[in-house]
Structure 1
Amino acid sequence: MGITAVAATSHASTNKEATKKPMNILFIMSDDHSFQTISAYDHRFIETPNIDRIGNDGAVFTNSFVANSISGPSRACMLTGKHSHKNGFIDNAHKFDGSQQTFPKLLQKAGYQTAVVGKWHLTSNPTGFDYWNILIGQGDYYNPHFIDNGVKKQIHGYATNIVTDLAIDWLGEKRDKSKPFCLLLHHKAPHRTWMPDTCDLGAFDDVKFPLPENFYDKYLGRVAASEQEMSIFKDMDIVYDLKMADKENEIHSNTSLEGWGRALYSNLDSAQKAKWDAYYEPIIKDFKARKLSGKELAEWKYQRYMHDYLSVIRSVDRNIGRMLDYLKKEGLLDNTLIVYTSDQGFYMGEHGWFDKRFMYEESFRTPLLMRYPSAARKGAKIPQLVQNIDYAPTFLELAGVKIPQDIQGVSLLPLLKGEKPKNWRKSLYYHFYEYPGEHAVKRHYGVRTERYKLIHFYNDIDKWELYDLKNDPHEMVNLYGTKGVEKITALLKKELVKLQIQYDDPIESLLIKK
């Protein structure tokens, strides 16, 4: 079958796991949580003992990816088990069609109690849930506004704590305990602008993080990468992103984001502001005095970004610990599949960037840890290529629900059981659409195998990129069109067309002409 084989979906069969006591599902997702900042994957930046507990008692997927690296579309892929062009939510300018088939609806029909709390970010109201209490839009870190089953309410406190409180309250007080549950616990954190809880301010002040090797990337041979607007040095806003909203109004970023940055502070109450000021005002004073520019400014911005981002992760990890402790106390651990993931990856200064969107590894790859009580062994590392379209069929198979034929993902349950399917997929398909748009990342689609990645940037550009991930894991050298790669290029293009036909993405007509 060439350089890949497509995984069998076994859509026609129902799950033999169905028992008298169906498995509960807890699906925890954060927004923009990079796999680099989870210690189950990487110890360079932070220890995340509670997130790691999920993997230590279950499994860590070491090759987990998304289908479209941007928040709303990624969430739509997870809900539907389909690529963006099939669920209709290709970018954040679209509206999610809530009337379509989703895994919560199918679980609901099968007798599950379903709920979603926290970040939704799909423009339309949730459907298929017995209970929903979601942040409005992106949500605020402090004293956020929620929509509680249609009723708007403001809840005082810090978003990560509040979302966890709501989830625990639903589990303990609001659900029908005679039914199995599927709870989506979706955090805003660590989405931009990385505002730490007051108890975590300064948590990393004693740490100076080394610059990524390619922080000063020149983007040679990579036109799309050179034209992005997600540079820490050029595009990260001093006031909005890095909290330099001085009371004297002397610091200006000269962007439209400055006003938003000052408005974020106004959302804090007096006690929160007092703690915030005690931490940030000395940093602001020092920043004014130093008058940084050039590389000094770029590297100062990187350190501030890392300190704030990682401080936000501390709260995420702490609250996951709260939830795991609650499940243990209530005797629910042994009958609940627990999943932790992010809606995509994130750049921690690699290529000089923050944000996501590109098919490059830091953005395309996402953390995925699952605690499955019937797993073959604890602490397993699962190396197979998996994607966020696989979550829906996994949950359905676990619940004994027939997986609809139009779902494009594949159940991960065999992998969790320790099986090694011979026909598991050997390649992944990706398609990003949001251009023109924030951060100016060009439209592109591509294929990734275990070793190689081929990307085509299109629309207002026509450029190809090829990477050997074994010899160039940081994707610095575009091999496309160079001598000696003709055979692998042809194989990858063939594979790309195959996947586009398999997933019924009409873009293949453009590729076949090349």
Structure 2
Amino acid sequence: MTSNAKFKGRPTNPLAIAGELHAWLTEDCRSNDILIDEMRSTSRFIDLSLTGVRGPLWWCFRDLVSTKGFSMNVRIVLVLLQVWSGVLVSGLATARDGLPSRPNILFIYADDHSPKTVSCYEDGYATDNYTDWACDYIRGEGRDPDQPWYLWLCYGAIHTPTTPADRHQGLLKEQTAELPPGIFGPRLGKPSYLQETQVWEPAGDGGAVFRGTKRTHTAWMQQVHECLMAVDEGVGRLLETLRETGQLENTLVVYSSDQGYANGEHGMRQKVAPYEATYSSPFIVSMPGSLPAGKFCRHTVNAPDVIVTFFALAGLELPWKMHGRDFTPLLLDPENASWERPTLYTHVGQDYGSNVTRAIAGEKEAVHANVPYYAALRHEDMKYVRYLTGSEGEELYDLKIDPDELTNLARDPRYQDRLEKYRALWMQELQMADAAYLEHLPPLLESNKMHLFLLVGQLGQFAERPWNEFKKEVDRAHRELPQRVPHTAVVRSESLQHQGDQVHFDAESYRQLGRRYAHAYLKLVGR
């Protein structure tokens, strides 16, 4: 399958840029406001945004498109852009590492995330090296200057170990990061696994520290954004090179990330959970003269949509059945085009194809990074999440009034009609995607019913007055309650002191007992 791709009659060069773990917050594509402040410091991204269309993209490099048992990693989205280069769509090749390369195709990517150097390449800061190689290629090095070209540039700087360039280290040390709403909870009605993914603790100064290292949230955000500075400079150099060589107007520039990343949202510092922070990616598409400039699109799209859309723009027929939708109307008229199609996205860890079905059928674990496998739906201003393991209840969010997803509305009687609507739409989308695991889907957890939480206090334990057999039996019955009665916890009384009567606790012990009750309650409700 080959193509001599042209956009509006002109030969077109696709330039796909990816910033691994580039969270939407550092380049906010959720609203029409372009945010400029010292912590973000992304002026070249703003330059790119002002030349094109930006909006939220829902994908993860572990997401998958499955058709009749086949599966496709959505990182192939970027690979498929090479159809614009007029060459066969197949394989990966890198022009810099000695592997066989194809004419007018260059992939720049290292999977080791090394901050200073890229193994087997050359000294220097990897982000700068990548940009140098890309600019050389745009200027004509190593390719046929008379043919369209394709360049995929993947920056890994933001990914762990998140090491800024020497010139940027410490530049943001005077800046303070605001704590995300909900970093400490409480999380009434939220999934129980959020207890396992909670990694931030309150600090004495009103801030937050990372559990284990005790590094502050502000220090971490300074590090992330100092790392982003070199990526931002790289994007600026790429755009300037396109201008210098007269190729800006016939180059389709696409910037995105492999997935989102939470930096404190929902208490997390990780990816893959179904929330805006952990999944949504920035998405900017620019081609001056062919696409509108400086526009924002509020509609969401996903990875299969990107594949189908770029096939359509290249004038190619789909080689096999795909589940995406062509969103070309959104690129051409991002603010006014009608788009009534929902966005489906999934988390299935590192499983693909039949392995996903095996996991949902219970033949293997269906959890990755402490997050159970799920499928979720974005439509209009609502989000619906259903976990494929049956271990957690449904989630429903109104993103217009609750953009931080702090309040799960699945139990709210006022939202039951909408819950039914999006539950049905979720099933419809998965059926259209030929999801083979649906026949193994466990029944819904009874999550929309309000729970009564029961806290049982242990009898006082005083050395001067040992328990008799009757009190020991009562204590055994209390301690067995959590195994018999859902949403129940026992509050222990070890080390508490009496006030001198060998019956009642003293004042300090009552305060300590109250703290134990609070801790037990917050654990029950999912904080």
TM-score (norm 1): 0.71
Shift of 1:319: 0.8
Q: Distance in 1 between matches of 2:340 and 2:101?
A: 31
Q: 1:452 to 1:460 in 2, by over 3 A?
A: closer
Q: Distance in 2 between matches of 1:473 and 1:85?
A: 36
Q: Distance in 2 between matches of 1:204 and 1:493?
A: 45
Residues 24 and 337, structure 1, Cα contact 8 Å, conserved in 2? yes
For residue 218 of structure 1, the aligned residue among 155, 163, 186 is: 186
What are the within-5 Å matches in structure 2 for residues 464-479 of structure 1? 464-479=394-409
Counterpart code for 1:401? L
Q: 1:43 to 1:388 in 2, by over 3 A?
A: farther
For residue 297 of structure 2, the aligned residue among 359, 382, 389 is: 382
Residues 117 and 166, structure 1, Cα contact 8 Å, conserved in 2? no
Counterpart code for 1:488? R
Shift of 1:459: 2.4
Which consecutive unaligned segments of at least 5 residues does structure 1 have? 1-13, 146-152, 235-289
In the TM superposition, what whole-angstrom CA distance separates every residue of 1:249-277 from its partner, at most 9, and x where no partner exists? Answer: xxxxxxxxxxxxxxxxxxxxxxxxxxxxx
The match for 2:48 is 54
Q: 1:163 to 1:422 in 2, by over 3 A?
A: closer
Residues 467 and 478, structure 1, Cα contact 8 Å, conserved in 2? yes
Counterpart code for 1:141? P
Shift of 1:405: 4.8
Shift of 1:383: 1.9
Residues 347 and 362, structure 1, Cα contact 8 Å, conserved in 2? yes
The match for 1:318 is 233
Q: Does 1:24 align with 2:17?
A: no
The match for 2:175 is 207
Q: Does 1:156 align with 2:123?
A: yes
Query: For the pair shown, which has the larger CA radius of gyration, 1 or 2?
Result: 2
Q: 1:28 to 1:84 in 2, by over 3 A?
A: farther
For residue 189 of structure 1, the aligned residue among 157, 174, 189 is: 157
Q: Does 1:413 align with 2:328?
A: yes
SS at match of 1:507: helix
Residues 228 and 441, structure 1, Cα contact 8 Å, conserved in 2? no
SS at match of 1:198: coil
SS at match of 2:277: helix
Residues 446 and 496, structure 1, Cα contact 8 Å, conserved in 2? yes
Q: 1:43 to 1:117 in 2, by over 3 A?
A: farther
SS at match of 1:174: coil
Shift of 1:102: 5.8
SS at match of 1:485: helix
SS at match of 1:186: strand
Count the aligned residue pairs: 417
What are the within-5 Å matches in structure 2 for residues 496-507 of structure 1? 496-507=426-437
Shift of 1:321: 0.6
The match for 2:113 is 139
The match for 2:362 is none
Q: Distance in 2 between matches of 1:109 and 1:118?
A: 18
Q: 1:437 to 1:370 in 2, by over 3 A?
A: same
Shift of 1:481: 3.1
Counterpart code for 2:164? P
In the TM superposition, what whole-angstrom CA distance separates every residue of 1:406-434 from its partner, at most 9, and x where no partner exists? Answer: 23223333222227787634311111012
Shift of 1:34: 1.2
Q: Does 1:459 align with 2:389?
A: yes
Residues 59 and 381, structure 1, Cα contact 8 Å, conserved in 2? yes
Q: 1:497 to 1:202 in 2, by over 3 A?
A: same
Counterpart code for 2:398? D
Counterpart code for 1:439? A
Residues 94 and 101, structure 2, Cα contact 8 Å, conserved in 1? no
Q: Does 1:494 align with 2:390?
A: no
Residues 182 and 265, structure 2, Cα contact 8 Å, conserved in 1? yes
The match for 2:449 is none
Shift of 1:181: 1.4
Shift of 1:399: 2.6
Shift of 1:176: 1.2
In the TM superposition, what whole-angstrom CA distance separates every residue of 1:210-248 from its partner, at most 9, and x where no partner exists? Answer: 2122111233222244244362459xxxxxxxxxxxxxx
Shift of 1:106: 3.9
The match for 2:285 is 370
Q: Does 1:103 align with 2:71?
A: no
What are the within-5 Å matches in structure 2 for residues 18-417 of structure 1? 19=9, 21-38=10-27, 41-43=34-36, 45-61=39-55, 63-66=56-59, 69=60, 72-74=61-63, 82=65, 88=71, 103-104=80-81, 106-107=83-84, 131-132=105-106, 134-145=108-119, 153-171=120-138, 172-229=140-197, 231-233=199-201, 300-375=215-290, 377-417=292-332
TM-score (norm 2): 0.70
Q: Distance in 2 between matches of 1:87 and 1:165?
A: 38
Shift of 1:353: 1.7
In the TM superposition, what whole-angstrom CA distance separates every residue of 1:113-157 from its partner, at most 9, and x where no partner exists? Answer: 99876999xxxx999886455544333111112xxxxxxx23211
Q: Distance in 2 between matches of 1:492 and 1:444?
A: 15
Q: Distance in 2 between matches of 1:157 and 1:215?
A: 37
Q: Distance in 2 between matches of 1:119 and 1:488?
A: 52
Q: Distance in 2 between matches of 1:369 and 1:137?
A: 24
Q: Distance in 2 between matches of 1:512 and 1:89?
A: 25
The match for 2:523 is none
What value does the CA root-mean-square deviation take over the aligned residues? 3.8
Residues 113 and 179, structure 1, Cα contact 8 Å, conserved in 2? no
Counterpart code for 1:499? E
Q: Distance in 2 between matches of 1:176 and 1:328?
A: 19
Single out whichever of 100-109 and 306-315 deviates more from structure 2: 100-109
Q: Distance in 1 between matches of 2:69 and 2:41?
A: 38
Counterpart code for 1:336? T
Q: Distance in 2 between matches of 1:293 and 1:369?
A: 36
SS at match of 1:223: coil
Q: Distance in 1 between matches of 2:181 and 2:121?
A: 43
Greater RCO, 1 or 2 (C-alpha within 8 Å, sep 6+): 1
Single out whichever of 488-497 and 418-427 deviates more from structure 2: 418-427
SS at match of 2:395: strand
Q: Distance in 1 between matches of 2:95 and 2:267?
A: 31
Shift of 1:449: 1.1
Counterpart code for 1:441? V
Q: Does 1:447 align with 2:377?
A: yes
In the TM superposition, what whole-angstrom CA distance separates every residue of 1:308-338 from its partner, at most 9, and x where no partner exists? Answer: 1000011110111111111110000011111
Q: Distance in 1 between matches of 2:104 and 2:291?
A: 33
Residues 115 and 184, structure 1, Cα contact 8 Å, conserved in 2? no
Shift of 1:454: 1.4
Q: Distance in 2 between matches of 1:35 and 1:474?
A: 13
Counterpart code for 1:330? T
Q: 1:90 to 1:336 in 2, by over 3 A?
A: closer
Single out whichever of 316-325 and 395-404 deviates more from structure 2: 395-404
Q: Does 1:481 align with 2:464?
A: no
